[in-house]
Structure 1
Amino acid sequence: MENELIKFMSQFTELTDKEAQVMVDFYPVKLYKKGEVLLQEGQIAQDSFLILSGCVRKYCIVDGVEKTIDFYTEEQVAVEFESMSQQSPSKYYLVCFEDSKIAIINSKKEKEYYKKFPRFEELSRIQMEVMMGENLRAFSKFITLTPEQRYLDLLQNRPKLIQRVPQHLIASCLGITPESLSRIRKRIFK
């Protein structure tokens, strides 16, 4: 299991054997069953979750209705930044949508890791900047694209997600009703 974490991190930098072993110790990999909750509304986030396999859904509840924010799949990090950085109660849920293999990145342990291996703080910062850039692009697309354009973008950039997730949750993630998504799909696939 740990080899998947090392393989992922090796994409960004070469690891010594000692660094790899310390990484395995600091970032345990766990198996989660579909439906297991990683974070729930009201909890203060302490961990980030690197998805090695599987899928995690982030959602909130507004007026009694679940609103899907995103799905995190292989090589993506599921995290609730606001709760973690401000140590405030989360407004979101992170729930395993599929059986998942996840590396857990505890924010307190991460500081210890950076003291032992300072170069990883720089690496982490770069990864964070990439994630924030991706989040900003996604937000910009959500604001500027029509629902049909958002669906086409999802089809182009995350086609496997469409096959893994029910259409009503895809619709929720796109900010539309399942009926609207059905009409969009009908137009596109004619």
Structure 2
Amino acid sequence: MKRKNPEQHITTAIHAPLLAAIRSLIPLSEAEEAIVCQLFKEKHYKKGSFFLAENEICRQAAFVISGFMRYYINDDGEEKTYSFAKPYNFACNYESFVPQKPSAQIIQALEDCVLLTISYDDLLLLYEQVRYGDRLGRLVIEQVFIQTLKDRNSFYTDSPESRYEKFVNEHKDLLQQISQYHIASFVGIKPQSLSRIRKRLAGN
């Protein structure tokens, strides 16, 4: 099938936050905005579904429009949540996406999500067709990869209380939306232990 001429592609409202995020990193001409809108496809994920399942190859990167997802690993049957992807953030497992190798990490929708996704092959097209596309890819990969490493390292080095305080500081907007089970998983403790930490902090 012949690819559409980007000049003929109409920029839709759903792409506006993505374009704003990209423009904060690189300049875009109108023609390049049209290319971005053509290559990033709208996809919907139901609550509980997987953007990336365990041992799958991560074949797409995403920009979250609405909803949120969690990153976690399966450690001998125990789920360990180490990060979240919120609206207007990029989401991807770049350790799998860049080399196109199976992923040990899992990315799951915690509520219904609307995403703008780009495949690995289309990202290579973006690098070719957008003037600073390769710079954009590098900056986004650095942002997501470095944050993911920080979150995973924190899981093994910070105390549960410190991790809970970090969650409250960085994800206050999610406090009422995420279950106690998933917050406890992020903190690295059982839900009943999380209740004790919350009571202790509330008493200070």
Q: Same fold (TM over 0.5)?
A: yes
Residue aligning to 1:54: 67
Among 135, 148, 172, which residue is 1:135 paired with? 148
* Shift in alpha-carbon separation, 1:93–1:142, aligned structure 2, 3 A: closer
Aligned residues: 190
> What RMSD, in angstroms, separates the aligned Cα atoms of the two structures?
1.9
Change (3 A) 1:129 1:169: same
Normalised by the length of structure 1, the TM-score is 0.89
Unaligned runs of 5+ in 2: 1-13
TM-score (normalizing by structure 2) = 0.84
Give 1:188's aligned residue: 201
Contact map agreement 2:83 2:151 (CA 8 A) in 1: no
**1:126-177: per-residue Cα shift (whole Å, max 9, x none)?**
2222223323433443343211111112111221122210111111111111
User: In 1, are the aligned partners of 2:17 and 2:65 still within 8 Å (CA)?
Assistant: yes
Q: What SS is found at the alignment partner of 1:59?
A: strand
Q: For residue 53 of structure 1, report the CA deviation from its aligned partner.
A: 1.4
Aligned counterpart, 1:104: 117
2:187 matched residue in structure 1: 174
| Counterpart position of 1:117 | 130
> C-alpha distance in 2, partners of 1:164/1:19?
36
CA distance 1:80–1:174, shift in 2 (3 Å): same
Give the match for residue 69 of structure 1. Answer: 82
* TM-aligned CA deviation for residue 7 of structure 1: 2.7
Q: Is the 8 A contact 2:82 2:186 kept in 1?
A: yes
1:63-85 Cα distance to aligned partner (Å, 9 max, x none): 33333232211122221222223
Partner amino acid, structure 1, of 2:22: M
SS of 1:52's equivalent?
Answer: strand
Q: Which 4+ stretches in 1 moved above 3 angstroms? A: 139-144
